[in-house]
Structure 1
């Protein structure tokens, strides 16, 4: 689905009180390293959510450096040793994604997929509800809440 259609679908689900205050943005940068993408959300022109491919890849590399510094065990045993709380909860190949999401670092491709899923939900289910200015928008980005 094209970004403009996804964005419009999501914006149609935002309550009237926030329609002019909440903005969802996406962009692509072409660099010497290849295409870099970013999705961010602002409320009253202040960024409240950011998913950047460059930031995610940098954090991913730092995570694996952190793991290598803690243990010399091979994959996937190194993950079990460093993050025992995730054993049996996620597949071996989703460990790093889950750890980074717990640190509020998101893969921009995954965020986009979840935004598309969210925009396809029925209006009754996905209508955003706000109570005394409490923002409940970011719940859809956490994979465990969307599945």
Structure 2
């Protein structure tokens, strides 16, 4: 069992996934900082508040922190857009494989014999039909 686990871990896909998760978490920190320190102040200029996380709707005893939600939505949109650009760029860089034209395989000796038999039977049937018409 330990040997199978070692083989599983050594596989390239698992290592690629681990690297992707680590880079993804670091990228998320960068995007969060971008949103909090640059984008929110720009939005705050139009809303009159610089800190969106402070936006709260209070109904009775309930506090709805829609500012934090807006921060999360902005973070998501930025991350999704950057991932879209990365996938688009990688797709352009990757060589596309031209589908090879399938070569018609040479007929086997059995197929050749069967084709000849079929043709002979057709000829024989046509000859029989012509004789019955006469």
Q: TM-score, normalised by structure 1?
A: 0.27
Hey, which of these two has a bigger chunk of strand by percent? Answer: 1
Hey, which of these two has a bigger chunk of helix by percent? Answer: 2
Greater Rg over alpha carbons, structure:
2
Q: TM-score, normalised by structure 2?
A: 0.29
